[in-house]
């Protein structure tokens, strides 16, 4: 068993761009006895320095929960102040020692967030020192949420972060209330929209996606399909000429691009480019799709499953429901995908489906659900970290992120 499982959850600003990531973690064998003490935090900090913040969050900030011992200065804090938001947990007693510790961290340049904040007199001294206040939308009613927002407006320097937003409708309420940041799995879930067909622009994209994903496609068919779409042609050529592939000579035709990359690779990236055209969705949803896809592919290799490309496709298409705001069953009815892919996406059946489910459990921090007898836990952790690094570079090259 690895010392640590670590995953990340995006935090969005009001323009749906990623501000940073909260790092979710599970300590190893002694977790039950750790009782939130410094031993657990030390493991986290070691992991951050060994794994590297860049590998986990790229150029964004990392939000990390720390125990009282670190806040009050009993233990060293080997993390760069400009890259880290320190979350002060709600169950830490507020006293003179804690306030002095927070003041010292602020003086060092750290951003301070108050986690799971509940407005009460004992917490008021922290409000003058903190930069961000996090409100758990699942822990309080909408009426209480509105009351908290009203009270916190007395501190104009504070940024408000709504956390544990589970559905898009909760996001809309928090945005209307004036929150600055938004955290939760709402972005990967569909809005509840009563419709039986897609808007014409999305329908055209689905028709293109169906053609790209045809299992019987050939290089000439793919070439014809791509050259008929100017935007797709341009982006694919830009992609193959990026540093991601490091081609010795510039590739200036779709025919040569398809020949060099091969049918399966072209299918992968044409699929992602088609999905990325859906408007009004955060670009992070595409990053999530590629992380899932790559993680499924890596795990397929680890269990000696030959159809690695199928696993990649399943991971990539797992965001379709959220992307199009339609039930997955209806979306798949519009695509001529194999039964294996359909069953994986609808019921997590077969090896691709089981690996997708494993990747989702890891992404959501559901550590107790990571049950796959053929995979050691350190293999799962390594697959996740590799996938983040690979997806970050791939999306930067492909989507200009």
Distances in whole angstroms, Cα of residue 83 to Cα of each of 20, 61, 71, 240: 9, 5, 17, 32
Give the pLDDT score at 31. 45
What are the beta bridge partners of residue 183?
A: 11
| pLDDT (mean) for 166-189 | 92
Residues 1-54: pLDDT tens digits? 455 688 899 999 999 999 999 988 775 544 443 445 555 566 566 667 777 888
120 band by pLDDT with thresholds 50, 70 and 90: confident
CA 108 to chain centre: 29
- Mean pLDDT (the chain) is 85
Weakest mean pLDDT among 5-19, 106-120, 187-201? 187-201
Give the pLDDT score at 257. 84
Distance CA 124, CA 138 (A): 22
Give the pLDDT score at 199. 61
96 band by pLDDT with thresholds 50, 70 and 90: very high
- Closest alpha carbon to 393 in 263, 291, 316, 270: 291
Give the pLDDT score at 30. 43
pTM: 0.85
Q: Name the fold adopted by 200-399.
A: Hypothetical protein af1432 (1.10.3210)
| pLDDT (mean) for 220-231 | 82
Residues 363-387: pLDDT tens digits? 998 988 998 999 998 999 999 999 9
Question: Domain spanning 4-188 has what CATH number?
Answer: 3.20.20.450
**Joined tokens for residue 401:** 């992120």
Give the pLDDT score at 34. 44
Residues 233-279: pLDDT tens digits? 888 888 788 877 778 888 888 888 888 888 888 888 788 877 877 77
**CB contact burial 350-386 (16+ within 10 A = b; e otherwise):** bbbbbbbbbbbbbbebebeeeebeebeeebbbebbbb
Distance CA 241, CA 250 (A): 6
- Closest alpha carbon to 295 in 372, 226, 389: 389
Q: Number of C-alpha atoms within 13 angstroms, CB side, residue 150?
A: 6
- Closest alpha carbon to 267 in 320, 309, 311, 207: 309
| pLDDT (mean) for 315-334 | 89
Residues 326-350: pLDDT tens digits? 889 988 988 878 899 999 999 999 9
Give the pLDDT score at 29. 42
What are the beta bridge partners of residue 5?
A: 26
Give me the residue label for tokens 């070439």. 223
What SS3 state is found at 63?
strand
Give the pLDDT score at 1. 43
| pLDDT (mean) for 314-331 | 89
Structural domain boundaries in the chain: 4-188, 200-399
Task: Express as a percent the part of the chain with pLDDT over 70.
Answer: 89
The size of the chain, in residues, is 401
Residues 358-369: pLDDT tens digits? 999 999 989 889
Query: Residue 68 is inside which H or E element, if any?
Result: helix 68-71
Give the pLDDT score at 77. 78
Collect all residues with Cβ–Cβ distance below 8 Å to 211 and sequence separation of at least 6.
Answer: 217, 221, 225
* DSSP assignment string, 97-110: HHHHHHHHHHHHT-
Given a cut of 80, whether residue 207 has pLDDT beyond it is no
Give the pLDDT score at 216. 76
Given a cut of 90, whether residue 214 has pLDDT beyond it is no
């Amino acid at each position: 068993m690895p010392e640590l499982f670590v995953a990340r959850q995006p935090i969005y600003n009001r323009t749906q761009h990623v501000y940073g990531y909260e790092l979710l973690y599970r300590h190893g064998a002694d977790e039950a006895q750790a009782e939130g003490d410094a031993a657990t935090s030390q493991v986290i900090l070691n992991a951050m320095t060994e794994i590297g913040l860049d590998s986990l969050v790229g150029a964004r900030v990392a939000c990390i929960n720390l125990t009282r011992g670190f806040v009050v200065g009993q233990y060293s804090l080997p993390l760069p102040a400009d890259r880290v938001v320190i979350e002060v947990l709600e169950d830490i007693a507020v006293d003179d020692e804690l306030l002095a510790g927070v003041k010292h961290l602020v003086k060092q340049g750290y951003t301070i967030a108050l986690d799971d904040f509940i407005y009460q007199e004992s917490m008021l001294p922290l409000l003058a020192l903190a930069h961000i206040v996090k409100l758990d939308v699942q822990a309080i009613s909408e009426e209480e949420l509105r009351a908290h927002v009203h009270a916190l407006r007395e501190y104009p320097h504070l940024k408000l972060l709504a956390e544990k937003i589970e559905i898009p409708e909760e996001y809309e309420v928090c945005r209307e209330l004036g929150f600055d940041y938004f955290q939760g799995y709402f972005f990967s879930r569909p809005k509840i929209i009563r419709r039986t067909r897609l808007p014409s622009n999305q329908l055209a994209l689905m028709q293109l996606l169906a053609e790209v994903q045809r299992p019987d496609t050939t290089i000439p068919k793919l070439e014809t399909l791509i050259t008929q779409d100017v935007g797709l042609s341009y982006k694919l050529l830009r992609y193959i000429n990026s540093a991601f592939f490091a081609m010795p000579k510039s590739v200036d035709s779709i025919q040569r691009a398809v020949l060099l990359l091969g049918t399966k690779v072209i299918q992968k990236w044409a699929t992602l480019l088609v999905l990325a055209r859906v408007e009004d969705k955060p670009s992070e949803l595409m990053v999530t799709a590629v992380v899932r896809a790559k993680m499924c592919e890596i795990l397929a290799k680890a269990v000696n499953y030959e159809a690695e490309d199928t696993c990649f496709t399943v991971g990539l298409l797992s965001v379709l429901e959220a992307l199009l705001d339609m039930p997955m069953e209806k979306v798949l009815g519009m695509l001529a995908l194999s039964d294996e892919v359909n069953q994986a996406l609808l019921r997590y059946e077969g090896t691709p489906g089981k690996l997708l489910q494993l990747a989702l459990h890891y992404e959501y921090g559901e550590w107790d659900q990571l049950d796959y007898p053929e995979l050691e836990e350190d293999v799962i952790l390594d697959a996740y970290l590799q996938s983040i690094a690979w997806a970050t570079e791939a999306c930067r090259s492909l989507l200009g992120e």
